[in-house]
Amino acid sequence: MAFAGPAKTQTKVLKFDTEEDVAVALAKYTADLSEKYINEKGSFSVVLSGGTLIDTLRKLVESPYKQSVDWSKWLIFWVDERVVPLDHEDSNYLLASRGFLSKVRYLFLPATFTPSTTRNLRKVQQTDYEDRLKDLVSRKILPISNISGFPKFDLMLLGMGPDGHVASLFPSRHHRYEKERWVTFITDSPKPPPPRITFTFPVINSASEIAMVITGADLAGTTKIALGNGQIPGSTPLPCTEVSAEGELTWFLDKDAASKL
């Protein structure tokens, strides 16, 4: 089913004094959703991004959540990955593995792809990731949204770049307009490294819950635009303004990121 565009979403903006307060609130938010979804459907699918998000998630793998969360019911995915070996310093998998996955046991990584050594590396990885998701859908591990027809994750945890990108969907690249594919690949990402694979907006926007986790003064201007009219005069809307959730979209901001609101 083709994606019709951002659905109406409930948006909440939470502002905190410090980055530490954001980390505390994000851990509680994620642990509460984990309990809710596990009670309702027996599992909790979580999509991670790269960048500072993993560090901001640090409180989730500390007491009390480290013990109280039922990690055995978690399914972990990545919203984007850099096309490098999984043990490469640029890998989002490695980042999450060091800062998060290695701290808890029994996590299930159902769609982690193995980097290919074939010639058409990026294409292979994109197709591989999409095929793995399709397999999970056919095995009824991952549901499809009744609204969009795209796979539906319970929670996406997203960061944002100063240019307003989310995942690897950049303002000046056509991938942000993809309406059919679940996963696409980019060979010239403005943020290094250049080759990446990424979920598309139809998949991102089919999530039940999305957290935009934004800290630091360097994101204050972009945050103001994103939560204002979404556009720098004379340019196209920022990709971050395309984000919507089928349930609730929550912005977590520290004082610095919120300083221009």
Ligand X SMILES: O=C(O)[C@H](O)[C@@H](O)[C@H](O)[C@H](O)COP(=O)(O)O
- Residues found near ligand X in the complex (CB under 6 A): 49-53, 79-80, 92, 159-161, 165-167, 191
Tell how far CA 200 is from the center of its chain.
Answer: 11
Looking at residue 174, what DSSP letter applies? G
**To the nearest whole angstrom, how small is the minimum distance from the Cβ of residue 166 to ligand X?**
6
Tell how far CA 203 is from the center of its chain.
Answer: 10
Task: Using the minimum distance from each CB to ligand X, give the nearer residue, 49 or 244.
Answer: 49
**To the nearest whole angstrom, how small is the minimum distance from the Cβ of residue 194 to ligand X?**
12
Beta bridge partners of 197: 81, 185
**To the nearest whole angstrom, how small is the minimum distance from the Cβ of residue 59 to ligand X?**
16
- Neighbouring C-alpha atoms within 13 Å toward the C-beta of 255: 4
Spatial contact of 83 and 122, defined as CB atoms under 8 Å apart: yes
Give the C-alpha separation, 47 to 82, whole Å.
15
Task: Using the minimum distance from each CB to ligand X, give the nearer residue, 51 or 143.
Answer: 51
Give the C-alpha separation, 185 to 180, whole Å.
13
**To the nearest whole angstrom, how small is the minimum distance from the Cβ of residue 140 to ligand X?**
28
Task: Using the minimum distance from each CB to ligand X, give the nearer residue, 136 or 219.
Answer: 219
Task: Using the minimum distance from each CB to ligand X, give the nearer residue, 75 or 166.
Answer: 166
**To the nearest whole angstrom, how small is the minimum distance from the Cβ of residue 176 to ligand X?**
12
State the CB neighbour count (10 A cutoff) for residue 143: 16
Query: What is the side-by-side strand order in the sheet with 183-186?
Result: 80-82, 196-199, 183-186
Virtual torsion, Cα 189, 190, 194, 196, nearest 10 deg: -30
Task: Using the minimum distance from each CB to ligand X, give the nearer residue, 75 or 158.
Answer: 158
**To the nearest whole angstrom, how small is the minimum distance from the Cβ of residue 130 to ligand X?**
18
Residue 244 identity (one-letter amino acid): S
Task: Using the minimum distance from each CB to ligand X, give the nearer residue, 69 or 186.
Answer: 186
